[in-house]
Amino acid sequence: MNALIIISVLFIFSLIFLGLYDRFQRNHSLLRNYPIIGRFRYFAEMAGEYLRQYQYANDWEERPYNRVERSWIYRAAKNISTMGSFGGQTPSSVVFLNSMFPSEPFPHYLLRPIGSYQPMSYFNISGMSYGALSENAILALSHGARQARCWINTGEGALSKHHLAGGCDVVFQIGTAKYGCRTDMGLTNWDKLKEISEIDSVKMIEVKLSQGAKPGKGGILPAAKVTEEIADIRGIPVGVDSISPNRHKDIANPVDLVNYIEKVKEVTGLPVGVKLCLSRHDELDEWFDKIVNTGRGKPDYICIDGSEGGSGAAPIAHMNNVGLPLTEALPMLVDAINRFNLDIVVIASGHLATPEKVAWAMASGADYIVSARGFMFSIGCIQAMKCNTGKCPTGVTSASSYLKNGLDPMDKSTRVANYVRQMIKEVDAIANSCGVVSPQMMGSNHIFHLKKNDD
């Protein structure tokens, strides 16, 4: 009986010790927020590797990111081996055409300038607003971007001190609500925009027409996430749903767009880009025709977002059924730029979080890649699908102070940098296998689209 009591006491004290250790360690957000209980997830994840043949769902069935993709990102971010074994496994419709004479690695190639800005990385952080993401998540991304020498996009939720904290290069995005540079009437406050452009870290301005998650619909930040700080940054009331208009009030046609871009260039003196989810080539041709004929308003870059993109809250019908996927939209954009003989840098976005997809996009004409959800995974996202509720269990998109504090920005910033470095390393290796020294030298002749097997 005494032995049983001693064992019980030791067991209880062991649980208390383990719970305290989980709560105060800095490496795992899930364990900090859910001591002891969170360990069951890691156990199930580990055991799954040895029980695959008994599972009802395979590694490629989960959506929007399957287990294979998430596992690669987690391992890259933790700087552990991303090697596999037992031959190829992932089903793919595209393969890269290797050369009999591969190129040797050449790590010092220069990237294509974007106007007056010279980026240092072709893989960068896409627009994710403060509010949609917690301050700790933004801090982790900002500090990680500095370590990796990549840029971070503010998203349409305005520029916050958390974006600037890491000292990285920043792209300021002007969304349809003009958060951060808006007048009381919801139009552009040019004086505020000029002030933002004079901040040393701000390197480019991006005019967002639409995004992949909800093309033709504005951003949505639920009231529960609109804190006093976020309301002040955006210039909106506290505790009220932040819903952006579905378009810019002052941009209704290609002529307006040309004039607006020209004005932003004049006011800021910075490279200016446009982000959009593309569907109609006739509208694209009309816009480009106005640029050529007027000689005004040419963007320095276009960020093309596929319909599969988007990290924010959106109506399900828009997420699933509006806009073209990147596989169709990117070639359409590149073709139009070539037909009109325009010097415009192409940035691709939309489910580009693993090396094979990044390499495909660059071979299809993209000069740069931006990812949102890939970086969310790198700082601890487990695809719990709670982003719009403010109850993210790992603190990435949480509104709860308790859950946000589970994410240690300094620890996760290292994972952000690791993710960027491993991505570049593996994409470069694909390019070398194809016989070229850098991904920018890849073209459509380096990829082959496999026929779909209907059997």
Q: Is the pLDDT of residue 3 over 90?
A: no
Dihedral sign, Cα of residue 73, residue 75, residue 79, residue 83: negative
pLDDT confidence of residue 60: 54
Residues in a beta bridge with 114:
117
Determine how many CB atoms are found less than 10 A away from the CB of residue 67.
18
The pLDDT-based confidence of 312 (bands split at 50, 70, 90) is low
What rounded mean pLDDT belongs to the chain?
86
Q: What is the pLDDT of residues 109-167, one digit of tens each?
A: 899 999 999 999 999 999 999 988 999 999 999 999 999 999 999 999 999 999 999 99
pLDDT confidence of residue 57: 52
Nearest CA-CA partner of 336 in 309, 297, 304: 304
Segment 247-267 mean pLDDT: 95
Segment 325-348 mean pLDDT: 96
Segment 64-92 mean pLDDT: 82
The pLDDT-based confidence of 7 (bands split at 50, 70, 90) is confident
Dihedral sign, Cα of residue 280, residue 342, residue 176, residue 154: positive
- From residue 335, give the alpha-carbon distance in Å to each of 15, 301, 328, 332: 61, 15, 11, 5
Pairing mode of beta strands 94-96, 447-449: antiparallel
pLDDT confidence of residue 122: 98
- In this structure, the dihedral spanned by the alpha carbons of residues 232, 236, 241 and 242, taken in order and rounded to 10 degrees, is -90
The pLDDT-based confidence of 56 (bands split at 50, 70, 90) is very low
The pLDDT-based confidence of 311 (bands split at 50, 70, 90) is low
User: Locate tokens 């899930």: which residue?
Assistant: 30
Mean pLDDT is lowest, of 7-21, 45-59, 186-200, for: 45-59
pLDDT confidence of residue 211: 82
Segment 234-243 mean pLDDT: 83
Segment 55-82 mean pLDDT: 79
- From residue 176, give the alpha-carbon distance in Å to each of 179, 206, 256, 286, 316: 8, 11, 14, 21, 21
Segment 414-440 mean pLDDT: 97
Q: Where are the domains of the chain?
A: 7-50, 123-449
pLDDT confidence of residue 62: 64
Q: How many CA atoms lie within 13 A of 307 on its CB side?
A: 18
Contact between 382 and 30 under an 8 Å Cβ cutoff? The reply is yes
Phi, psi of 255 (to 5 degrees): -65, -45
Percent of the chain with pLDDT over 70: 84
Indicate the helix (H) or strand (E) that contains 9. helix 2-24
Question: For 123-449, CATH number?
Answer: 3.20.20.70
The pLDDT-based confidence of 455 (bands split at 50, 70, 90) is very low
Q: What is the pLDDT of residues 58-71, one digit of tens each?
A: 555 666 788 889 99
Segment 197-211 mean pLDDT: 96
pLDDT confidence of residue 111: 96
Segment 71-85 mean pLDDT: 89
Segment 306-311 mean pLDDT: 70
pLDDT confidence of residue 314: 63
Segment 186-210 mean pLDDT: 96
Rounded to whole angstroms, the Cα distance separating 426 from 443 reads 17
Q: What is the pLDDT of residues 279-303, one digit of tens each?
A: 888 999 999 999 999 999 999 999 9
Identify the burial level of 266 via C-beta atoms within 10 angstroms of its C-beta, where 0-12 means exposed, 13-18 middle and 19 or more buried: exposed
